[in-house]
Structure 1
């Protein structure tokens, strides 16, 4: 008798945690488990700013799925369409072939993409901080600006290369600005022709407060740390236009700059639009058990789903964080197993354990279990949390060793030449043009299944 087929779409926190739990709690004879993901690693996204700053190597935040998952069939590619009636997932493989994969149970955990707006020049000249390749590229780009600024005799060019703009006052933007500012400050000592006073970092956000989720006191502490380091923080301001060597703000300022890092929020993966199901602000509407209504055997979780937050009520949904993603993955795995065994499903219910923001060096702000911390104690909590959250001992050892080595030896400020001759735009790393429309999904499903 053929085993039921469980397909997990997405190799992030939610998808990998779900597949791990399915492996542990299902006997091999009970189901066939497959995971579709473009890369054979789980990216530990919260530490990307450390990769961009050279504190961590890219490999240290890429947790091998083949170490983590022992009997899950890893399909190298991306899910680009879902036909829930035919119970089929359309996949674009890494060799660009389009194939159809049948399933009995589908777990949708495709994550999110960088959210953008209709701002002139944004897609052409901005860079994101959502993928491992982007973090590596931004490091190369920032060091290249120092190299070129040191070499040029043109004062205007030097000024534009030494002004850096980060848009987004959330965790990603704040940590990115903080970590990269430390990078350029330390690197400047190796560039005798550069005046350190010319290097300027700007953090801007349309919100009136920095990281409001931290609370007023810790948000103010983080703001003071950034200002003490020389980061210029502008709140209530956004970007009006981006050029090759200028950034115009909505308050009228025109800044000479060749670096704009965009971290102003995320949007659910375009995959959710191919399902034809109800959405809430772009995320799939799901029940408390994370089932997608009217789609037999389909679950959705993580950044792509509006999972009800039962701890708050009043229609609140869980924020798109790693903490929720991992725990939702476990709950969905248990619910898939319950469906297989004709048992009742359980709703997702989790109290947030707190927040950590690593600003580099000895600077951090944290709120574990409601206790507000800053400085070394907050840094210890932040890094302890990250080490605990990494899923393999090898990954923990690599990250800890990288932190220790960087603290003792510093950085050599070497760039790899990554895409040096092909400057990358915001969308080049996320492949958002790969997804199908709803009609294309139906067309591909029928034709692929007809071929057998």
Structure 2
């Protein structure tokens, strides 16, 4: 008798944990295939530390083949699902197409950059969703500081040393906090013109930083950012972006060569092509993470609208914490559908959030207890070490070295700006010459940052 075929699409927080848990539950009694554009799971919360030169890129890239036993990895990006034929079509990194069949399907395709119709943003801004974008930003910021240090004109120096981050959610706040420390360290070794310092702007139309989190976390983060010298502007965003700067919604024009777009994410457009009911672009599922009318199809993570049983009538937000927990429940319920164990609905308990603000500063509320300063910093790093499925010793070693040795401020030139367009649905993909590009605008279909 042949083993049932389980196909998992996506290896983000939800997909990775689904695969890992299913491998343990089925004990080789099912054929598990994982379809993903890359051969690693990206631990996204530590990406700002890669851009700031604290962590090496491979520290946040957990190898799939090395950590998922009895799981077959297929490199590719899903671009079509046939629910009647039980097949998924995909395109591999070199542009070749393929088809995978399944008996059980888990859609964990995640999210893509959330674009707004702001003139010039798609052409002049970069997102912050993958390793290539972090490596590009690290090189770009280093280059701007080096060029500013050698500039003869004060205006050119100031422009190159002004960095604009749009979106004061989790990612944007951490990036601005880490970026300011990074550029301050750069100019200590390469001084700018007299009286000039790197300038970071953090913009958001929301009334406060971290609007999706507890107000105490927001106040702590705001205080640390402002004390560090970050220009925090709430109720303001970008009206137009150009090569030489950004026009703000309050009428001010800011000379800058750097615009980082962190306004949030939207569900991967793949789910909208299924023809099933959606909730703000997310695929509607029941509390057991099953797609109504298709008992063989499950969905979890950012692309799934999962009922929040703790808040009737609402859906769980698009956060890494929920995606990670979705993955475990999805695996349990897929296994139950094969006669292994019992299924269970998705229920959660808020364990709190952590926000790394660089250095020894952080904001955290584990189990609802608000923390700030070095204690919050220790809790935050302890949380990340516990949450990472691998590479813990390597990450801890980089943190230790960062406290005793200066960062290596060099441009590697590995990623060019055209390799990380803002409208890319998969910024982590290596671009192969001649291969068709996959972008968020090319996919059919339609929120909060992590």
TM-score normalised to the size of structure 1? 0.93
8 Å contact 2:209–2:218 — kept in the other structure? yes
**Distance across 1 between alignment mates of 2:142 and 2:281:** 36
Q: 1:365 aligns with which of 357, 363, 366?
A: 363
- State the shift of 1:421 in Å: 7.5
- The 5 A counterparts of 1:214-233 are 214-233=213-232
**Distance across 2 between alignment mates of 1:365 and 1:422:** 35
Partner in structure 1 of residue 235 of structure 2: 236
Instruction: Establish whether residue 3 from structure 1 lines up as the match of residue 10 from structure 2.
Output: no
What whole-Å deviation, never above 9, does each CA across 1:308-351 have from its counterpart, x for those lacking one? Answer: 111222x1111122211111111111101111118753110011
Partner in structure 2 of residue 374 of structure 1: 372
What whole-Å deviation, never above 9, does each CA across 1:161-190 have from its counterpart, x for those lacking one? Answer: 111000111110000000011000111011
Partner in structure 1 of residue 118 of structure 2: 119
Say which SS state the counterpart of residue 402 (structure 2) adopts: helix
Partner in structure 1 of residue 351 of structure 2: 353
Instruction: Establish whether residue 418 from structure 1 lines up as the match of residue 407 from structure 2.
Output: no
**Distance across 2 between alignment mates of 1:390 and 1:106:** 25
8 Å contact 2:291–2:298 — kept in the other structure? yes
Q: 1:436 to 1:129 in 2, by over 3 A?
A: closer
Partner in structure 2 of residue 432 of structure 1: 439
Partner in structure 2 of residue 246 of structure 1: 245
**Distance across 1 between alignment mates of 2:411 and 2:45:** 22
8 Å contact 1:85–1:295 — kept in the other structure? no
Partner in structure 2 of residue 317 of structure 1: 315
What whole-Å deviation, never above 9, does each CA across 1:101-123 have from its counterpart, x for those lacking one? Answer: 11111000011111010000111
Q: 1:328 to 1:105 in 2, by over 3 A?
A: same
- State the shift of 1:273 in Å: 1.6
- State the shift of 1:66 in Å: 1.4
8 Å contact 1:120–1:242 — kept in the other structure? yes
Query: For this pair of structures, how many residues does the alignment match?
Result: 434
Say which SS state the counterpart of residue 185 (structure 2) adopts: helix
Say which SS state the counterpart of residue 136 (structure 2) adopts: helix
- State the shift of 1:259 in Å: 0.4
Say which SS state the counterpart of residue 344 (structure 2) adopts: coil
Instruction: Establish whether residue 337 from structure 1 lines up as the match of residue 340 from structure 2.
Output: no
Say which SS state the counterpart of residue 153 (structure 1) adopts: coil
Deviating more after overlay: 241-250 vs 344-353? 344-353
Partner in structure 1 of residue 138 of structure 2: 139
Deviating more after overlay: 121-130 vs 149-158? 149-158
Partner in structure 2 of residue 187 of structure 1: 186
Q: 1:343 to 1:24 in 2, by over 3 A?
A: closer
Instruction: Establish whether residue 56 from structure 1 lines up as the match of residue 52 from structure 2.
Output: no
- State the shift of 1:434 in Å: 8.7
What whole-Å deviation, never above 9, does each CA across 1:138-179 have from its counterpart, x for those lacking one? Answer: 101100111111222233222211110001111100000000
Unpaired runs of 5+ residues, structure 1, are 439-452
8 Å contact 1:129–1:261 — kept in the other structure? yes
- State the shift of 1:192 in Å: 2.8
TM-score normalised to the size of structure 2? 0.93
8 Å contact 1:22–1:333 — kept in the other structure? yes
**Distance across 1 between alignment mates of 2:8 and 2:195:** 49
Say which SS state the counterpart of residue 255 (structure 1) adopts: strand
- State the shift of 1:435 in Å: 6.3
8 Å contact 2:43–2:388 — kept in the other structure? yes
Say which SS state the counterpart of residue 354 (structure 1) adopts: coil
Deviating more after overlay: 318-327 vs 331-340? 318-327
Say which SS state the counterpart of residue 150 (structure 1) adopts: helix
8 Å contact 1:170–1:210 — kept in the other structure? yes
- The 5 A counterparts of 1:95-174 are 95-174=94-173
Partner in structure 1 of residue 433 of structure 2: none
Partner in structure 2 of residue 446 of structure 1: none
- State the shift of 1:213 in Å: 3.6
8 Å contact 1:137–1:418 — kept in the other structure? yes
Partner in structure 1 of residue 402 of structure 2: 406
- Judging by fraction of residues, say which structure has more helix: 1
**Distance across 1 between alignment mates of 2:193 and 2:404:** 25
Say which SS state the counterpart of residue 294 (structure 2) adopts: coil
- The 5 A counterparts of 1:4-83 are 4-28=4-28, 30-83=29-82
Q: 1:68 to 1:423 in 2, by over 3 A?
A: closer
**Distance across 2 between alignment mates of 1:330 and 1:194:** 54
Deviating more after overlay: 188-197 vs 30-39? 188-197
Partner in structure 2 of residue 450 of structure 1: none
Say which SS state the counterpart of residue 290 (structure 2) adopts: coil
8 Å contact 1:84–1:296 — kept in the other structure? no
8 Å contact 2:291–2:299 — kept in the other structure? yes
User: CA RMSD of the aligned region, Å?
Assistant: 1.7
